[in-house]
A and B are shown apart, each in its own frame.
Chain A
């Protein structure tokens, strides 16, 4: 058998992305590309009010409109016990409103018609009689005396409070503050943002009336978990549900939850016996699906006489919207926010969190952020910068003095995390060197003398990503492991099936590289399949930077299992003892006789043709991997910015990013993740916000007002790496998909504050817009 010599494409190689050929040529298969025979189209009527009682809904005109097949209301769903559904955080959410609407954009009724245009025309004919109620648009309003009760549907719910949650040690923290030489305080709002994937959410529900099987094509980051949820919600047997997530055009957490449109489309297909498609338009996506952040935070940092951090106290108010629908591990009410001690060796810390209902859209998702880690990282990095500025010592010096030292790992934090590995000093020193930090500080001093406003921002983040392990991390009780199934064909080509699901992260390439590394089959010969629950092993899905820590580990482990079997086969073929065989990537050979060798392809063929006595045929396996711990990627970002005295505009001049995500499987893809995250971080820092007026009207309802950054306005990013492997991950890898969105917002804002600090400006809440900067300048008599 002849063997083609091909590049391996193992770990550390910047293999070009396999998936790009179809995406770049328009040959991908996104949900809205799908058309099934007899397919109907659904459109959703949404509430124009943030808070209103529904007196009556008249659908008679819509029912009679051309092309309309059905009009669905909450009342109709209630007859099938589907008017409400459980959320991922153990609350309930209205599928279609029956009693009240609780946010602008809430689903009120659906029209199913022969075409989408007919469905949209008919929506305008539905007459809803609303009694408008006062709206609540912040947790401060929600907790006020006499605030209107939003969730009067919930038995026993007397106010708008959802949860109270604490982490850390209150007494130890109080003692630290009592002995502090200096306490620095910061109150800030991390504004509501939105993942805004380019492809909006949607479903094609196809319930076969003959077999009863529901095939649900869905833009889902977590098809298996969603199948289980659907089974529980709809009472359908789980084996009768098949979820297929086709190509997905970005998720960023937005495509984790179950949305009302999915439920109604499925119910409609079940009742009508025809496939039903529903795809959100841009406004629907922005006003009703999983938002992110919206935390009001106060942090206090205690330092001793040597400028050592000795205590951290944080209280936060979470604006969860009308239903508590955060997608996060169930034991953690404010996500993993208690990573808030960040990169610092702070012996005492305490966090309190309180969540409130408001008349805003529900669904706090981990927008490119491992469950509220972004908010935590932002708070500590803003606090540390303000502490340095208040103490009059350099921002890098204060950080270097207080970093957890390399020899302290594994490091147990004051809020209970066990950090796996890190070398924060090294990352920061590299960033300083690449930026030319000292020179820029000199330039800043010269510019200041001329009245110019220039700032250098620093952030040294530490993330916690890769949930589980399963005993601690679960969603609706489902343990957060993940899986990989590897099947090597007789000719030595392989198919790898995953429980996770790419939305653009490049799984079809990187996971093939892991197989290449571990089993010696070239990455080009490994097809990665994912997204189809009938065809892949169970997993919790792709979000929170968890695919590499969980499914990546599973892929390595299953590859090694197969390699063990391959060794037995090779020993049989070479008529040698197993222990006399050496493995080099792609082949086994007899120790001392390298010419006596069998390639992995030859071994694979033997697995189907020439087996030792008693061995099961085939070369395949499946692994479910429950990680022993999270991974803790980290890095230092530095930003140089100039502020326009006349207009308040901030011009970011340079961004230097040093990231350490452990071993990099595909450095090019990692680079892309970081570039994208730095870009999104810029947007969050300077332009993006889902705004509400006092009546609860959502202002950021389209891309004219929800300002996603593009290559045009974002600066050039200079990226560098250090590599500190994770000691517990089979490949030494950590998650990286979110590092830059987590770490960069603070660096951008710190640059602005650094520029304005001498004027007495200590904080500007994000987004740092020109008018806010202008107001801060004019308030201190600075102008042009």
Chain B
């Protein structure tokens, strides 16, 4: 029995924006991230769960109860806003206890929960400060504490880290995870940062243009993206994409491969030859971006400090067992049986300035079409 269930949720504004026909379900205690680029409807989906928006179609079920028509307060959930939505005239303690006072929780119980929440979020000693006197990270923690004292089983978070700097984001990210575990919260977490989604969640729902593109554990989304969009959105750097015909596949297929699985090789053994665009030294490894007319986002990750000269031609091996093959037009994954194993060893050694392989000149490689 799932704890949170969305069935066919649709909400748009005169056909603009919003979400279309979304169904999701979530077990109690799960951490679900809703991931997607801005404007994909992920915040709308969260607001629909919270009850701050009403769906045009579909139902929201929380803990076996159909709450579609209920106001937010009766849905038994708490929420952390992107802007934190702290009350500027109330101090930290008053902000955190606002909901408890409204719900007339007894004073002793209130104080106990307050001190627990402040301890958990490391806000001890800041009780009397106003939000304006706090740093961004502290404000963020007040918002978390306010959600924590409510002791509601479901917690919704709308891009809670987007206003923090990179370092803080990392530490608060860990706090959120710990908080959710300690309190046994079921969390729905909206973010546009794939790193956040991957590191925090048990399940990631990737959204695009108002629809769910793929749902699954982070490792599945990373290793087995179901669509070209997923392949390109998840991972830093994202999956490299190569036109199928270049690797001996039929027209209309696209091959995707994680850059860390791509290898450099001598030209005679390579699947294709590409030109070095740029080298980024990342400390433990070096990311070498490559350019090939029939490829997109081609890159190689080399251990340690590697020095490739931009403009050089290098041979590249795309290991067959790691390839993901997509239909270029629908953007969906193809069955593995559609691969043509016999053609996989064919080489294509066309550098950019040399004689380009005839397949590569075809302008059939259009990513904008793939997700429609």
- The answer on A and B forming one complex is no
